A and B are shown apart, each in its own frame.
Chain A
Amino acid sequence: MASSDALLPISAGEEDPLSPYTQLSDGSRSDPNLEAHRRRRPVKGLLAVSFGLLFIASYVALIATHDGSRSNDAAIETDETAAKTSRARLAGVSEKRNYQFWKLSGDRNTPAFAWNNSMLSWQRTAFHFQPEQNWMNDPNGPLFYKGWYHFFYQYNPNAAVWGDIVWGHAVSKDLIHWVHLPIAMVADQWYDANGVWTGSATFLSDGSIVMLYTGSTDKSVQVQNLAYPEDRNDPLLLKWVKYSGNPVLVPPPGILPKDFRDPTTAWKTSAGKWRITIGSKINRTGISLVYDTTDFKTYEKLDTLLHRVPNTGMWECVDFYPVSKTAVNGLDTSVNGADVKHIVKASMDDTRIDHYAVGTYFDSNGTWIPDDPSIDVGMSTSLRYDYGKFYASKTFYDQNKGRRILWGWIGESDSEDADVQKGWSSLQSIPRTVVLDTKTGKNLVQWPVEEIKSLRLSSKKFDIEVGPGSVVPVDVDSATQLDIEAEFEIKKESLDKILGDASVVAEAEEFSCEKSGGSSVRGALGPFGFSVLADKSLSEQTPVYFYVAKGKDSKLKAFFCIDTSRSSFANDVVKPIYGSVVPVLKGEKLTMRILVDHSIVEAFGQGGRTCITSRVYPTNAIYGAAKLFLFNNAIDATVTASFRVWQMNSAFIHPYFEEAVHALSRT
């Protein structure tokens, strides 16, 4: 173990003459001998001084080259500051409780769990987008063109873990029934040799498409590249051409070569130029850089940033778009005006959470400020598209139906060994429409695209009153592919009684789904909801529920949660409790929608004000053994549930073959 103690044996054996030189370098002490030497032999002194400077210079040079990721400032002071900053940053990272040690659940003596093929193959979804095999991550360049919705995605053609990334490609007429197409772009140029990473599409005024994407060069520098369809007349956009002058953007001064990725769709400025933004960071401050261009080949970087938030770390997959304050349709990315707010969204590398904020865009200098700085992008309190597993999301304007559509990458929550065994990893969320919540004005509302209803088969309607502490089996035959829409009401007598009862303690201020202990912990007014993917004995279950809590002001607050802690006996899967407060306005009933599709559960509270996606891997509650239950775990309150459950068909996502494509183009 190296330490300064190791030096003592060496220095102790040396004569004193060493010390004048050390004193010379730090300058804090003077050596009278040296002074005497200087007076008597000035040349010697000059030599000593120059050695001292040489020493300082070589010390600095060695520090500078070893600390490879920092900039080369010559002065020692700056290096000390850099060292202090990095120590502080290291301390900051470890102090931040933004991750916990991943421990296998259960104690050491819990019997271990071995996956079998039956359990693993059940996990594959019926109607969520996923490639036939291997790893997928970020959605890329979604767009609608000549009658087809196009979806591109980060794909590993070789393994069920991240790596060797290329652009996968698929098309659909309705965002639900997909046909896989050949890989759109591979890593075949020096400027994307180490990865064809995330990017976005822009439609030019003449209707042609440009694609900007991040390439990881052969030296692992992150650059932005331009690509476009080889054949404008091919509605399938099978082949893509990379601009011969790539890269069009390289990391600017002050930005590190690995902190420059995920360019957005461009929007028109009032000056008639195109503008894009790219996420990055400076130390621990997350930022979004802004560039203007007329031809997508040469760019001017603005001096201003679109936005920055300290202590948020690297901003990945930045998205920037307008939303209408009054209407429920989507807006083209270039729309601006008095009727419009702008959303800035970023994916936080540190926490794997997508955050967004509502604010105002200033076109004159390309900046944006949030309406509510206390919930600015990336802060722990800021809004999220989704309170579960949902990352690297991206929206696009669907000019076909005038909607803004959101895609989100849903990773696995199991072990990589299971992914390797089953041969695949990751899903995409069902595409969601995104609009500003015109009732609150402060948050977005998301909802699965209407087209998903085409998968609905038979349904059953229920009206059930559920007393406190009861569980009701819901008879729906198969329960692994479901669409549930439900309305809940706490009986007025229960509400009045609890609000009037002073002994019922206010808990809304402290409550959080994550820390609540889950759906088995009973409160006065909750939890109540559905247990999905539950076996008959409820030994495995995934509750999706409301928890209504009394606040200090005697007002009620509603929380919407998914508790995966008992979703599986397996102890090598992650089983969090997810959720958030959900705004409930006066006169509104509590509503939820749940999409169950094998190993994914997507839930939408209050019409999509609060959304939660979770991955679950039951071992018993699979195939015919999976059931649906309604439950009310409140201590005193009775709840009425009015709901409909649809069986959902498979989307029959096709592998690529030409006949399949022709079949779809005839519809």
Chain B
Amino acid sequence: MNMIKKMKMMVMVMMMVIVSEGSMIEQTCKETPDFNLCVSLLDSDSRSSSADISGLALILIDKIKGLTTKTLNEINGLYKKRPEMKRALDECSRRYKTILNADVPEAIEAISKGVPKFGEDGVIDAGVEASACERGFKGKSPLTSLTKSMQKISNVTRAIVRMLL
């Protein structure tokens, strides 16, 4: 009886932890423009459970990085399929490389070192580059869902980075 009660105590503690961690993510995501997106991005990452707000921001920046790589691969594939779109694809390729090589490292360094405002700049810029890429297709973009994703993730991440200011 004693043993069972002990076990139940442990389970209780663990559940309280899970609830409270869920609350931390939820509380943070409530203050972003896209609660559902925010929660789904963070929940899908095991690092979220032990992260503070800085950590959550860094996880989202990692998502930005992943999305950037994915989009660059998509762009590369499109050169063969849509050769008439070469100029727009070139523009997108360059802009997404900026996200990968400039925005993401800038944001990671800034947030890790406690000067989040430069991180905010990098995160905002990821959305800017995605929008500029999208516009290059003059309404006929083959990348719309990817660029829209980037804009949304950028907005959510920015809101979290601002909490660090």
Are the C-beta atoms of B102 and A110 separated by less than 8 Å?
Answer: no
Are the C-beta atoms of A222 and B114 separated by less than 8 Å?
Answer: yes
Q: In the bound complex, what is the Cα–Cα distance between A99 and B39 (angstroms)?
A: 23
Are the C-beta atoms of A87 and B27 separated by less than 8 Å?
Answer: yes
Q: In the bound complex, what is the Cα–Cα distance between A113 and B135 (angstroms)?
A: 8
- Report A411-444 CB contacts with B as 1/0, cut-off 8 Å: 0000111011100000000000000000000000
Are the C-beta atoms of A416 and B165 separated by less than 8 Å?
Answer: no
Interface residues of B in 49-82 (CB under 8 A from A): 50, 52-55
Partner of A111, one of B12, B15, B138: B138
9-residue interface stretch from A55-63, A333-341, A462-470, A591-599: A55-63
Q: In the bound complex, what is the Cα–Cα distance between A54 and B122 (angstroms)?
A: 44
Q: In the bound complex, what is the Cα–Cα distance between A484 and B88 (angstroms)?
A: 41
Are the C-beta atoms of A2 and B28 separated by less than 8 Å?
Answer: no
Are the C-beta atoms of A7 and B121 separated by less than 8 Å?
Answer: no
* A99 / chain B contacts, CB cutoff of 8 Å: 162
Q: In the bound complex, what is the Cα–Cα distance between A216 and B115 (angstroms)?
A: 10
The range of chain B's interface size is 35 or more
Distance (Å) between the CB of A179 and the closest chain B CB?
28
Q: Residue A457 at the B interface, CB < 8 A?
A: no
Q: Residue A94 at the B interface, CB < 8 A?
A: yes
Are the C-beta atoms of A104 and B103 separated by less than 8 Å?
Answer: no
Q: Residue B131 at the A interface, CB < 8 A?
A: yes
Known: A66-B21, A90-B31. A109 touches B138 (CB 8 A): yes
Are the C-beta atoms of A18 and B12 separated by less than 8 Å?
Answer: yes
* B19 / chain A contacts, CB cutoff of 8 Å: 2, 4, 7
Q: Residue A374 at the B interface, CB < 8 A?
A: no
Q: Residue A91 at the B interface, CB < 8 A?
A: yes
Q: Residue B136 at the A interface, CB < 8 A?
A: yes
The range of chain A's interface size is 35 or more
A7: nearest chain-B partner, CB-CB: B15
Are the C-beta atoms of B9 and A55 separated by less than 8 Å?
Answer: yes
Are the C-beta atoms of A47 and B103 separated by less than 8 Å?
Answer: no
Are the C-beta atoms of A104 and B9 separated by less than 8 Å?
Answer: no
25 example contacts (A-B, Cβ-Cβ < 8 A) are as follows: A2-B26, A3-B26, A4-B19, A11-B15, A21-B9, A51-B6, A55-B13, A66-B20, A66-B21, A69-B52, A90-B28, A91-B31, A93-B31, A93-B163, A112-B88, A113-B135, A161-B122, A162-B118, A162-B121, A163-B109, A216-B113, A220-B112, A220-B114, A415-B95, A415-B128
With contacts A67-B24, A112-B88, A349-B117 known, what are 20 further pairs, Cβ within 8 A?
A1-B43, A14-B8, A59-B17, A63-B20, A66-B21, A89-B163, A90-B28, A99-B162, A104-B128, A109-B139, A162-B121, A163-B118, A164-B109, A194-B113, A195-B113, A216-B114, A259-B114, A314-B165, A416-B103, A572-B131
Interface residue ranges, B against A (CB under 8 Å): 2, 4-6, 8-9, 11-13, 15-22, 24-28, 30-31, 33, 39-40, 43, 50, 52-55, 87-88, 91, 94-95, 98, 101-103, 105-106, 109-110, 112-115, 117-118, 121-122, 124-125, 127-129, 131-132, 134-139, 155, 159, 162-163, 165
